[in-house]
Amino acid sequence: MATGINAILHRVNALPETLVKGHMYFVKSEGLLYVATSESASECYSGIKKVSWSTSTQELVVTPAVGAAVTVDLSAYAKASLVGDLSSLNTEAKGDLVTAINEVLAAVGAGGTSAQVTMTEGTASGYAKTYTLKQGESTVGTINIPKDMVVQSGVVETNPSGQDEGTYLVLTLANATNDKVYINVGKLVDIYQAKASAAQVQLAIDAETREISASIVAGSVTSAELAASAVVTAKIADGNVTKVKLASDVQASLGKADTALQKADIATGTSNGSISVDGTDVQVKGLGSAAYKQDTAFDAAGTAETKAAAALESAKEYADGLRTWGTWED
């Protein structure tokens, strides 16, 4: 009987393909207990799996839970006194050996009371928990879990006394002295910080919210960073393109327009027959005699015809007054 074993027991429906060396596996569907000797091998501690008797050959075939079957030739002893008195068997069946052996098989085979592995929970001094494993009525092992392997509580503390500055996970063990284990959470992960004065994209990390933001450094985006035809007119806001950003020939054309005469540069001249251009009088041919005359100085349209008709009528009247009519005789 093994006691004081610190091991792990797994309750499974089938034995896993990959085992953990030293772990125990209780296969519920078989009622068998296996102990892993490697990742792929195990030993079974549950005894006989099957017993059969051949009347014709007088052979007893015993099949263990693990390993090859064993055939025992009892033909020379089946009726001999060496078999013993069947009435002295401790089994219920005492009439024949086969029935008695089958009774033993039922007790130690899968599902039998003597083959069943049970685990009971208890307590022991110095241990958080104790588990006792039994096969039938026999104790096959005890699993003790020390208190210093069990955490009673855990809290997060910043800059705890006696430790380097930082944030710690403080675990209190369930042992007699309630020892504390300090785990610096900053050492559990890789710490990153934003590079100062980045060339193009500046990252910033908020220590409070743990948020990361990024901004483009002014003047860092050049034509090399832009894809071909990346900037189109539709994407440029109105009024955002200045003259200095235009091609030199376009700037020259706009310069000529800036120096050309504007409406405000042309006004009435100070002398007849002239106009003022950018403050200087310029004579206009054909306007010398008519310039700056009031309309009252000229006859209205049709006045000359009326006056001519009136003058003609006056001339006729005058001529008629000069003519003398005489009398003629034959």
Q: Where are the alpha helices (DSSP H) in 91-213?
A: 97-108
> 6: pLDDT confidence band, cut at 50, 70 and 90?
very low
For 308, phi and psi rounded to 5 degrees?
-65, -40
For residue range 48-105, what is the model confidence (pLDDT) as tens digits?
666 677 777 777 776 766 667 767 676 665 554 555 666 666 677 666 666 767 767 6
- Separation between Cα atoms, residue 252 and residue 269, nearest integer Å: 32
Which tops the pLDDT comparison, 305 or 72?
Answer: 305
* pLDDT tens-digit series, residues 234-289: 878 888 888 888 889 988 888 888 777 777 778 887 877 778 877 788 777 766 55
Report how far residue 290's alpha carbon sits from residue 78's, in angstroms, rounded to the nearest whole number.
164
pTM: 0.26
State the chain's mean pLDDT as an integer: 75
**Chain centroid, CA 2 distance in Å:** 52
Residues in Cβ contact with 289 at an 8 Å cutoff, skipping those fewer than 6 apart: 273
Across 43-52, 201-210, 301-310, 321-330, which has the greatest mean pLDDT? 201-210
Rg, Å, the chain Cα set: 62
Report the alpha-carbon distance of residue 180 to residue 167 in Å, rounded: 15
CA distances from 270 to 62, 164, 265, 277 (A): 142, 94, 14, 11
What is the Cα–Cα distance from 4 to 15, expressed in whole angstroms? 25
Average pLDDT score over residue span 113-119: 70
Band of the pLDDT at 1, cuts 50, 70, 90? Answer: very low
- Give the rounded percent of residues in the chain with a pLDDT score beyond 90: 2
pLDDT band at 159 (very low <50, low <70, confident <90, very high): very high
Q: Report, as an integer, the average pLDDT of 34-58.
A: 75
Reduced to 3 states, what is the DSSP secondary structure of residue 315? helix
